[in-house]
Chain A
């Protein structure tokens, strides 16, 4: 009898069990600094992996810094699509209009295909999905974008995905109701609660045992 050979994505700098291939995580919280810190720890590529980050408010330089802070040399194994600021490095692609989800999706698909040419293992993330929700007039476009890009890629590839959402943002709808829907569609949720300077409590659900853990960030 053999053990199940499901690919695992280790999360070495958070007290979380490894994610199985195909896992989708909804990352929420109202402190964007803490959200970013947890996001980078989840998404930073390890040695045999690639990262793909769609950043709505962080510059390419900031994303690279965040990834490297979470895993040594992670930015060298990453592609960044940013809606904030010009291309800053070889791995960064600028996007003119955050509300152009058709163009954004095509760029995202192209970068996934490029990543696959290097290694099959991918960590993909959106930071922050709430910015996209705020920018579009019809939230159905956001759902179509998530289905067509992030969730499809997790299904087809050896990949995990993280969608970060700032719960304090005005997204033009009832945030609690919106989150309830998102939570039901993702494998699990991590809610980040501030717990003093440099500290947070992660409320984890749907990713093995539901629990709350204290972390230093």
Chain B
């Protein structure tokens, strides 16, 4: 198994203690840095599984590092490992940085640090979205489709062409949602490959049973501050679930427009029908692949 890089930041002695505590954990590879500048330079070129930082650093605070990584990789978990009390920590400029706070004065702090870092990595514990309660089985269901080996691209391209034309929207796409991002399998009207799970509206749409419509994302606090959505020109959204025969939602069929718009109950039902058609195509292609594999097996 590949080791997970954990960036540790603190004064010389502090950072050695952090690294020593994390070295006790299998699969964690601590990297030490001693300042905000060194840490941000590292983050500019390398990806990390987690960050552990002291609060007081020679050229700033640990929250400066957290702020920097939230810009680059917002889903990265951060642990503030410090003996400074929360009441003495200046959070005025970092109100939505949100970190795991661990008091290093606790008697078993070093033991807890390894446990907490393992946990926040394993459970993506600081992501800015909610995951379904049955996420593990949902991901297993998604994994059961050999999407890379299925000849579905042309079928899905034709389908998104039809969907976009039917609803007269700027964009129509089909995406599958894995642990970290939405993989766009077909997209008419846009050149989109993937969107992180934190950024995509489908993260929210997949959690509700019926078709989700956002008439104008600037009027919804879940999306109004999401710069990537604005950069993509998204104003309105409608999404319907692709649900496996066993009931797991693995993807979405979506409509995007560059202007505000609403959808009638009939249109929502039609979008759901398109999503069911996409799921049937995926199922059929998977069945054919499995039948073909069975034929060539000795």
Question: Which residues of A are interface residues toward B (Cβ below 8 A)?
Answer: 97, 99-103, 105-107, 109-110, 113, 133, 136-141, 143-148, 151-152, 155-156, 171-174, 177-178, 180-187, 206
Q: Can you pick out 5 interface pairs between chain A and chain B where the beta carbons lie within 8 Å of each other?
A: A106-B99, A138-B224, A144-B98, A152-B119, A185-B132
Which among A155, A173, A183 is the interface contact of B220 at CB below 8 angstroms?
Answer: A173
A143-B127, A144-B126 known; A102 vs B95 contact (CB < 8 Å): yes
CB of B89 to closest CB in A, whole Å: 7
Q: Mark B200-230, 1 if CB is under 8 A from A, else 0.
A: 0000100111001010000011101110000
**Are B125 and A101 neighbours in the complex by a CB distance under 8 Å?**
no
- Distance in Å: Cβ of B135 to nearest Cβ of chain A: 9
User: Please, which residues of chain A bring their CB within 8 A of the CB of B207?
Assistant: 180-181, 183-185
Interface size class of B (residues with CB under 8 A): 35 or more
The dominant DSSP class at the A interface is: helix
B132 to chain A: which residues have CB within 8 Å?
A: 184-185
CB distance from A134 to the nearest CB of B (A): 9
In the complex formed, the residue of A with least CB distance to B129 is A143
Residues on B with C-beta less than 8 A from A100 are 91-92, 95
Contact of B128 among A105, A143, A171, A177 (CB under 8 A): A143
Chain A CB within 10 Å, residue with most, of B80, B116, B130: B130
* B residues in contact with A99, CB < 8 Å: 95
Closest Cβ neighbor of B120 among chain A residues: A152
Chain B CB within 10 Å — which of A101, A102, A147 has the most? A102
Q: How far is the CB of B90 from chain A (nearest CB, A)?
A: 9
* Chain A residue nearest to B222 in the complex (CB): A139
Contact in complex: A148, B126 (CB < 8 Å): yes
Q: Is the CB of B100 within 8 A of A147?
A: no
Which B residues form the contact surface with A (CB < 8 A)? 63, 80, 85-87, 89, 91-92, 94-103, 106, 115-116, 119-120, 123-133, 198, 204, 207-209, 212, 214, 220-222, 224-226
Given contacts A101-B98, A106-B99, A109-B102, contact A140 B129 (CB under 8 A): yes
Q: How far in angstroms is the closest Cβ of chain A from B113?
A: 13
| A141 and chain B: residue at smallest CB distance | B96
| Candidates A106, A139, A148, A178; contact of B89 at CB < 8 Å | A106
Choose one: B96, B131, B204, B221; the contact of A144 (CB below 8 Å). Answer: B96
Q: Is B86's CB under 8 angstroms from A138's CB?
A: no
- Taking CB atoms, residues of chain B closer than 8 Å to A152 are 100, 119-120, 123, 125
Residues from chain B with a CB closer than 8 A to the CB of A144 are 96, 98, 126-128
**Chain A residues near B209 (CB, 8 Å)?**
180
**A185 closest partner in B (C-beta):** B130
> In the bound complex, what is the Cα–Cα distance between A174 and B198 (angstroms)?
18
Q: Which residues of B contact A107 (CB under 8 A)?
A: 86-87
Contact B222 A105 (CB under 8 A): no
Please tell me which one of the listed residues A137, A140, A178, A206 contacts residue B198 in the complex, with CB atoms under 8 A apart.
A140
A140 adjacent to B128 (CB under 8 Å) = yes
Alpha-carbon separation in the docked complex, A174 to B89 (Å): 34
The answer to whether A148 touches B220, judged by C-beta atoms less than 8 angstroms apart, is: no
Query: How far is A133 from B91 in the complex, measured between Cα atoms in Å?
Result: 19
Cβ A102 vs Cβ B123 within 8 A: no
Chain A positions within 8 Å of B116 at CB level: 156
CB distance from A190 to the nearest CB of B (A): 15
Q: Point out the residues of chain A lying under 8 angstroms from B120, CB to CB.
A: 152
The answer to whether A141 touches B98, judged by C-beta atoms less than 8 angstroms apart, is yes
Beyond the given A106-B80, A141-B98, A185-B130, please list 12 additional residue pairs across the A-B interface where CB-CB is below 8 A. A100-B95, A102-B95, A105-B101, A106-B89, A107-B86, A109-B100, A141-B96, A143-B128, A180-B209, A181-B207, A182-B130, A186-B133
A106 to B83, CA, bound (A): 12
Residues of B within 8 A of A185 (CB): 130-133, 207
Q: Which residues of A contact B127 (CB under 8 A)?
A: 143-144, 147
Q: How far is the CA of A137 from the CA of B91 in the complex (A)?
A: 16
Q: Within the assembled complex, what's the spacing in Å between the Cα atoms of A102 and B131?
A: 21
Q: Are B225 and A138 in contact (CB under 8 A)?
A: yes
User: CA of A178 to CA of B128 in the docked complex: distance in angstroms?
Assistant: 14
What is the chain A residue whose CB lies nearest that of B122? A155
Most chain B Cβ neighbours within 10 Å, of A99, A137, A143: A143
Nearest chain B CB to A155 CB, angstrom units = 7
